[in-house]
Amino acid sequence: MPLTMDSSSQGKTARLKLTGEVDGTTASNMRAEVDRLLTSAPTILVLDVEQLTFMSSAGLRVLIFAKQKQPTLNIYVLKPQPPIVDTLRKTGFYDGVYVTDTEPDTGAKA
């Protein structure tokens, strides 16, 4: 299943809805979209992954690149499916992002 993306920016919050699968093929599209969103220097990136059914390490690397580009960025992972939570836990990403089932407030965590 290919990856479709829907992005928006509002103030310091950028949103990216990912539908489908992020793998070695589609991760480059995701990265390009994240890079584009980062140009407006958001402090929050909300990744809506409710409809994301698969994510390999290629998707994780996009998150690393984003944080390297903008270390103060807070990444929210919204409504991930259990296998993706599992991946985030195993790779230590669970502690580096905000995994949440509810829309984040504008206030950011430390």
Handedness of CA 35, 50, 108, 88 (dihedral sign): negative
Nearer to another protein by C-beta: 8 or 46? 46
Residue from the set 6, 86, 100, 103 that interacts with another protein by CB under 8 A: 86
- Told to check if 107 binds another protein by CB under 8 A, we report no
The H or E element spanning position 15 is strand 13-22
Q: Which is nearer to another protein, 8 or 50 (CB)?
A: 50
Is 100 a binder of another protein (CB under 8 A)?
Answer: no
Q: Which residues contact 33 (CB under 8 A, 6 or more apart)?
A: 5, 7, 16
Instruction: Sort strands 52-55 and 13-22 into parallel, antiparallel or unpaired.
Output: parallel
Q: Long-range contacts of range 93-98, CB-CB < 8 Å, 24 or more positions apart?
A: 93/60, 93/63, 96/63, 96/67, 97/63, 98/74
Contact between 87 and another protein per CB under 8 A: yes
How many residues form the binding site for another protein (CB under 8 A)?
29
Is residue 64 part of the contact set for another protein (CB under 8 A)?
yes
Binding site for another protein (CB under 8 A): 1, 21, 23-25, 54, 56-58, 60-61, 63-65, 67-68, 71, 75, 82-83, 86-87, 90-93, 95-97
